[in-house]
Amino acid sequence: MTRGIFLKISAAIALQALSIFAYADSDFPNKPVKLVVPYAPGGLPDTVARILAEKMQADLKQPVIVENKPGGGGGVAITAIKQYPADGHTFLVTDGPLLAVSPIIIKNLKYDAQKDLDPVSLVGVAPLLLVTNSSAPFKNMKDFIQYAKERPGELNYGSSGIGSIHHLTAEAMAHSLGINVKHVPFRGSSASIPALIGNQIDITFASPPTLMGFVDSGKARILATNTLARSKTSPDIPAISEYVKNFDFGFTVVMLAKKGTPEAYRNRISDSVKEAVNDPEVKSKLEKAGVDSIAGGPAELAAKLASENSRVIAAAKLANLKPE
């Protein structure tokens, strides 16, 4: 008798817990969702966040707001996220390399990505294109490699700054190819591209949207992409990995949450991201922004970030980066 009563009570409790969980699930999200970007408006993560927000709010039936909090190697944005409750309504949208390189180049960084953040969604991979002035003596990647090997130390490359993904990609490429090229850092691609067109530097890496106007006008020539395989959006452009096995420096665009955010909520947001990036209109917008959409869940993102972090850290060592 006692056992029967106990079983009935247990079943009732379990049923109540289930109904509460189901209610919580169906009621989520129950307020506006924030996508925090660690950069000023106009950069790639900001563009991606705004493209996603427009589509996600229709699915989530809540406003999705983009907030820009640049500075501190992501520290300002992540500190802000840590101040919110881990209730699944605030997320970080960033490029993956920022989380790997910031601890290497910034003293007393205000966050630890491993301890402070949980994976939510892999949005896509953004290629960088290796480009040269159209008047350069090398016309393709094979010619460039031969030219650089015959003239060690004579060529230089521009980047968007010390420790940037453009800088690390070039260092990794030079090491892998066995060539010696000098680094000329600039304050962003908006400065390095004009320097390339003006023949002040020989090569640089840049995102497709930054470059295409110069390529279409005949002022610049694309040599290769830094992704493991040819980009889906530009299949005619060879990958550096065709000349150096397994070379892969296309960078991720990712979404993360405050550590401790319930898995059910992270999965719900991840599903919303997947639905967004699989929409033809959103996919087209991402492609125009220079992103090959992927839409992976928390597990896929965790694996991708681990792989990306190891490559970024290795390149940072090649570049002899030190915290400042």
pLDDT band, very low/low/confident/very high, at 4 (cuts 50, 70, 90) = very low
Choose between 8 and 84: higher pLDDT. 84
Per-residue pLDDT tens for 93-152?
999 999 999 999 999 898 999 899 999 999 999 999 999 999 999 999 999 999 999 999
Mean pLDDT of 268-279: 97
In the chain, what is the straight-line distance between the N-terminal and C-terminal CA atoms, in Å? 72
pLDDT band at 26 (very low <50, low <70, confident <90, very high): low
Beta bridge pairs of residue 129:
206, 225
Cα 132 off chain centre by: 24
**Which whole number is the average pLDDT over 296-313?**
95
- The residue among 70, 74, 68, 33 whose CA lies nearest residue 52 is 33
96 vs 24, residue with greater confidence: 96
Residue type at 201?
I
Are 172 and 311 in contact by the 8 Å Cβ rule? The answer is: yes
CB 118 within 8 A of CB 304: no
d(CA 12, CA 233): 55
How many whole angstroms separate alpha carbon 299 and alpha carbon 294? 13
Q: Please, which residues bridge with residue 91 across strands?
A: 35, 257
Judged by DSSP in three states, 60 sits in: helix
Question: How much is the average pLDDT of 56-77?
Answer: 95
Q: How confident is the model at residue 312 (pLDDT cuts 50, 70, 90)?
A: very high
What domains lie within the chain, and their CATH numbers? 33-120+260-292 (3.40.190.150), 129-242 (3.40.190.10)
Question: Which pTM value belongs to this model?
Answer: 0.84
Residue whose C-alpha is closest to residue 267's, from 67, 65, 85, 120: 120
Say how far apart CA 77 and CA 81 lie, in whole Å. 6
Instruction: State how beta strands 156-159 and 203-206 pair.
Output: parallel
Q: What is the pLDDT of residues 206-233, one digit of tens each?
A: 988 888 899 999 999 999 999 999 877 7
Cα–Cα distance list, 184 to 98, 194, 223 (Å) = 20, 13, 19
Report pLDDT digits (tens) over 189-210: 778 999 999 999 999 999 888 8
Q: Are 277 and 293 spatial neighbours (Cβ–Cβ below 8 Å)? A: yes
274: Cβ–Cβ under 8 A, 6 or more apart, which residues?
121, 295, 297
Q: Which of 40-44, 242-246, 300-304 has the lowest mean pLDDT?
A: 40-44
Q: What is the pLDDT of residue 86?
A: 97
CB 82 within 8 A of CB 110: no
Structure tokens given for 296: 């992976």
